[in-house]
Amino acid sequence: MSEVAVLQLIGLVVVGIGLLILLFIKAMFVRVVGFVIIMLGIFSLIALGVPQMPSLPPAIETFDLASVKTPDDLAAIGQKIFFSKGQCALCHSIGPSESARCPDLKGIGAKLTPEFIYESLTQPQAYIYLDYRHQGPPKEYPARMPYINKNPIALSDQEIYSVIAFLQKMSGEPISIKVEDVMQLANTQQTMTVAAAHRSSDFERVNPTESTDAPESGEAK
């Protein structure tokens, strides 16, 4: 029997006891107690009826170097991080979405260089939009991209490069992140150099304001 089923059973028993008290007990105070436990039982049963989603802490993911053989393996790890520990999907969508709070990342791996993406993740205020979808003057507290390499998210460099590999892959681009560089990073803990551009023109730093899919307005900082 699942935990939810056990709790539902307890809730039903509690409501039943309350009903029995109201039906058969005359003492007014006890009747009030019966009334209270009926309310509490019903509340618990309703709460057990909505989707049950515990908030589990992100697993302290170990970067299993042995499992990474190809750039695709790297991208697969990056995809996992994108939707879990990295919390990217909390604000960003991949493809158009009405509920997305921040820019759509579809095709971002083709538009931006890995260095620029790395900088956007680790120094988000260096070169990024404020006030996504905001018309008029900037807000007092604009939406801000968090520092991905610092708490509370705190991705390691290896994890960040995996995410970049994923962004490139889902944009239909060849993955320019080299597995051996990520491997080396594990040993040296130094910032890896990104592989040379496969299309040199694309690897120039792209200012997002020039992009056609860029947010409607905002100010670069």
Residues of this chain that bind another protein (CB under 8 A): 3-4, 7-8, 10-11, 14, 28-29, 32, 35-37, 39-41, 43-44, 46-58, 87, 90-91, 101, 133-135, 139-141, 143-144, 146, 151-152
- State in angstroms the smallest separation of the CB of 122 from another protein: 16
- State in angstroms the smallest separation of the CB of 132 from another protein: 10
Name which of 11 and 71 has its Cβ closer to another protein.
Answer: 11
Name which of 15 and 192 has its Cβ closer to another protein.
Answer: 15
What span, in angstroms and rounded, lies between the C-alpha atoms of 32 and 40? 12
What's the full length of the chain, in residues?
221
Cβ(162)–Cβ(82) below 8 Å? no
- State in angstroms the smallest separation of the CB of 173 from another protein: 28
In degrees and rounded to multiples of 5, residue 220 shows phi and psi of -80, 145
* Continuous H helices in 84-219: 108-111, 114-122, 157-170, 179-188
Long-range contacts of 16-21 (CB under 8 A, 24+ apart): none
- State in angstroms the smallest separation of the CB of 58 from another protein: 7
- State in angstroms the smallest separation of the CB of 87 from another protein: 6
Cβ(107)–Cβ(101) below 8 Å? no
Residue with tokens 């040296």: 188
Range 175-184 burial, b when 16+ CB lie within 10 A, else e: bbbbbebbee
What span, in angstroms and rounded, lies between the C-alpha atoms of 182 and 66? 12
Helix (H, G, I), strand (E, B) or coil at 51: coil
- State in angstroms the smallest separation of the CB of 154 from another protein: 9
